[in-house]
Amino acid sequence: MSSSQLTRIGQGQTMLLVNPKESGEYLCEAQTSRGSDTSKPVLLEVVTCDSETVG
């Protein structure tokens, strides 16, 4: 994983992606006293738009 900022929200994590270089495959790994598990990977594509498009 890259240097993306992670913020804890309740029981989960929110990833703030600000750069197309952060695009790629991500997964979740969880570990508790009952054991551990890993999610299936998901492909995430980060896109940007120019300021004229925004507004």
What is the phi/psi pair of residue 17, to 5°?
A: -100, 125
The tokens for 32 are 């508790």
Q: What is the DSSP secondary-structure string of 18-55?
A: -SGGG-EEE--EEEETTEEEEPPPEEE------HHHH-
At 44 the pLDDT is 87
pLDDT value of position 37: 93
pLDDT of residue 43: 92
Using the 8-state DSSP alphabet, how is residue 13 labeled?
E
Partners of 13 in the beta sheet?
Answer: 8
**pLDDT tens over the chain, length 55 residues:** 444 555 555 566 666 767 888 899 988 888 889 999 999 999 988 888 766 655 5
Rounded CA-CA distance 18/36 in Å is 30
What is the pLDDT at residue 3?
47
Taking the whole predicted model, whether its pTM rises above 0.85 is answered as no
